[in-house]
Amino acid sequence: MSVLTRRNCLLGSTGALAWLGLTSPSFASGQLGAGARAASSPYAPSDASLANFPSQPPQLVREMVGASHGNIERVNALLKQRPQLANAAWDWGFGDWETALGAASHVGNRAIASILIDHGARPDIFTHAMLGNLDAVRAAITVTPGIERSRGPHGITLAAHARAGGEPSASVVAYLSTLPGADTPYHSVPLAAESRSIYLGDYRYAAGADEIIEVRFQEKQAALSLGRVGGSWRGLTHLGGHAFHPAGAPDVTIAFELTTPDTPAVALSIRAPEEILRATRI
């Protein structure tokens, strides 16, 4: 019978390491730390710009989609740098996805839409509606009945995309006006101006410096908006009962909690449809 000793354990461990091909002197002696590995590494230090490789850098994707609303110079510059950004898509929040071409389409920017398509962007029914391609729009609705009720980025209707195209899209506007649902806005409950202050404020959901939800009234959009610190603002549609849904995400519910009527909310919860988080007023 063999006696289990520290020497036997070490020898056994070395044998196992040899079987795994990990018998370098430094490894076997337990002396190979992070510093030793770094000193002997033939590779360059980690590059933060490659953190998402081989996916496109998120900051460029977001910038491309944002620029496609109207900054043609920046669009051209980004496409020169990375032509694949012609198909960039960004989630502005809660699943409100928007492509670069979708951005150009809902604002009626034909020039940018044309550039993106020339670089391989894939037009959909919303783009065709904006461009005034009546045959393409009619064909899509014929083969996919009900698609005219689908919404584009931020919940913008198909008919609104056609109107954004101006006079060249007049025939599409006329056609869609005959189809129920092609221009139906989100259902909303009127919210009195004096009631907005109930919801305004900052709500914390975790300990990080940016893990705070801000609720503000945006004068330009004339609507309550919500956003994470440093993130994008999302307009809120009032559903009644101190509940809202964010733009482009009607299946998400943002519910404010009040201790007494007409006093500032003490917390909010976000469900999609299950609860994602709860935040308390700071």
Residues 6+ apart with CB under 8 A from 163: 169, 173
Q: What is the pLDDT of residues 170-221, one digit of tens each?
A: 999 999 999 999 999 999 999 999 999 999 999 999 999 999 999 999 988 8
Which region holds residue 248: left if phi is over 0, alpha if psi is between -120 and 50, else beta?
A: left
Structure tokens at 29: 């002696």
User: What CATH code is assigned to 58-176?
Assistant: 1.25.40
pTM of the model: 0.80
Q: pLDDT tier at 222 (50, 70, 90 boundaries)? A: confident
Q: How far apart are CA 31 and CA 127, in angstroms?
A: 62
